[in-house]
A = this chain, B = another copy of it.
Amino acid sequence: MRRFVYRVEGKGESCLERISLNQITTDRWSLEEAIDGCVRAGIPWIGLWRHKVQEAGLPGIARLIRDSGLKVSSLCRGGMFPAASRQAALRKRDDNRRAVEEAAELGAEVLVLVCGAAADRDIDSARAQVEEGIAELVPYAASHGVKLGIEPLHPMYAAERSVVVTLAQANELARRFPAEQVGVVIDAFHVWWEPELEARIRESAGRIVGFHVSDWLVPLPHMLMGRGMMGDGRIELRRMREAVEAAGYSGPIEVEIFNQAIWDQPGDEVLARIKQRYAEHV
Contacts and interface: CB of A to CB of B under 8 A. Distances in A.
A54 to B, nearest CB: 25
Contacts of A216: 159
Interface in A209-247: 216, 218-220, 223, 233-236
A219 B160 contact: yes
Contact of A155 (B118, B156, B235): B156
A39 interface: no
Identify whether the interface residues of A are mostly helix, strand, loop, or mixed.
loop
For the side of the interface on A, what is the size category?
20 to 34
Oligomer copy total:
2
B158 A123 contact: no
A195 B192 CA distance: 17
A236 B163 CA distance: 14
B156 A156 contact: yes
Contacts of A195: 127, 165-166, 168-169
Interface of A: 118, 120-123, 127, 154-156, 158-160, 163, 165-166, 168-169, 192-195, 216, 218-220, 223, 233-236
